[in-house]
Every structure is written in structure tokens, then in C-alpha cells.
Chain A
């Protein structure tokens, strides 16, 4: 099984400042035949279902603000919020789909306003 870890567990960032969330997989999620990383990021606000932000590790879903960006390859990935807005307060999860149809989520990172 591919185990996903995230760091930090939580962080508080001032409005307009950068937030960085890390995600690590226990084995590579990079598929060599197409050079794609099978890694997605989701945002979950209180009382709401998760919302897709990024797939293929760095492709932003349509309608997602460009302050959200994903990077990384292999086993190490990062979600960056370049300028935190009040509406970005949420828990963020990474997910691997490399071992589909077995999927795993990271434990989540809570983002708050400092």
C-alpha cells in the first residue's frame, strides 16, 4: 500500500502571505511511461465535501484561483497558496491514484489565519 504523509499538521498564515503544504508518498507515484505524477490535492471547508484543486500534481482544476499551485515529482509534493485569502481557511488533502483502484489520502493539513 502507498502511504501518504503531510506536513505540517496545521499552519497559521497572515492574510496575503504564502502557505506551503508538503505531501510525501511511501513510493513513487510517477508513472514512467507518460511522465505523469498520479497525485491530486483537495480542499475541504467546514461543513462541505472536499473540492478538487489540482490533479497530475500540478494541473489546476478549472475555476481554481491561480494563487493555488502544485509542484513536485516522484515522492515529494507541495501545494502552495501564494497569497492567503480568508476564504482559503480549510483542510487540504493530497491523494495518490497511482495504485488505482486502490487510493489513499494524506492525513490533511489545516490552514488558518494568523
Chain B
């Protein structure tokens, strides 16, 4: 079974750094892109960026470029989303999702991780 399991909820203060993770199993992690999607409280889905673990090629939504860093460690089948200095406005649920097809071939997202809730508050 293809599965993505995300790290647990985080509570942080503004200015702190954070790295959340998404571990893939049941497939060849190296060959399939992982996307990150933000969902702010009570709001819709926003695509943040995507990474191809095979060569760590990462692409970002213009809205998130420079605000976050997406990385992957293919040796442990895990993708990451990190912030160097959190803001209160980063409070949201963050989902990882696998691009259905290999590499960056245009495809839909399936499956999705269970989500990681990040709360940033002083």
C-alpha cells in the first residue's frame, strides 16, 4: 500500500525555525514527486511546492518562493518542509501528497499524508 506518514503537530513561537517531515512507503520513493499543500484555518488548499527526490529538484509556487524550503532524503524516503523564521500567519495544516505519476510528469495528487498542524503563537 502506498502511504505517506507525516510528523506530528508542532507549537512554535514567532521567529523560531521548524522542519516537518513526510515519509513515503510502499513504492519507490526516489521516482515520485512529493508536493506540499497549505490549508489555513477554515480556508482552501494552496499548493506550495514540489520536489523530485531522485535529484532533489524543487519547484515553488511564486507565493511561497523564499518563504519555505523543500528538501528530501531519499535514503530514508522522507521529504521535508522547513521554515527559518516562523510567523503567526504560518499557522495552518500542512499536507504532503504524492504526484501520481513518475518524475514531474503532469498528474494529480494521490495519496495524501494525514497532515501536520503547525501553530505559531507567542
Hey, which bits of chain A sit against chain B, CB under 8 A? Answer: 1, 38, 40, 42, 44, 49-52, 55, 61, 91, 93, 95, 97-98, 100-108
Contacts and interface: CB of A to CB of B under 8 A. Distances in A.
Given A49-B95, A50-B95, A108-B44, A101 B112 contact: no
Contacts of A105: 37, 44-47
Contacts of A103: 35, 47, 50, 109
Given A50-B112, A52-B108, A101 B50 contact: yes
A49 B113 CA distance: 7
Nearest 8 A-B pairs (CB), nearest first?
A: A100-B106, A40-B108, A49-B112, A52-B110, A103-B47, A105-B45, A108-B44, A101-B59
Nearest to A54: B108
A107 B39 CA distance: 11
Contacts of A38: 106
B45 A97 contact: no
Contacts of A98: 106
- A40, A50, A52, A55: residue with the most chain B Cβ atoms closer than 10 Å: A50
B44 A100 contact: no
Say what secondary structure dominates the interface of chain A.
Answer: loop
Contacts, number: 64
Contacts of B95: 49-50
A100 to B, nearest CB: 4
A72 B112 CA distance: 26
B83 interface: no
Given A101-B33, A102-B61, A95 B106 contact: no
B44 A51 contact: no
B62 interface: yes
B107 A1 contact: no
30 contacts: A38-B106, A49-B114, A49-B115, A50-B45, A50-B97, A50-B112, A51-B112, A52-B108, A52-B111, A55-B107, A55-B108, A61-B110, A93-B44, A93-B45, A95-B45, A97-B107, A97-B108, A98-B106, A100-B99, A100-B105, A100-B106, A101-B104, A102-B59, A103-B35, A103-B47, A103-B109, A105-B44, A105-B47, A107-B44, A108-B44
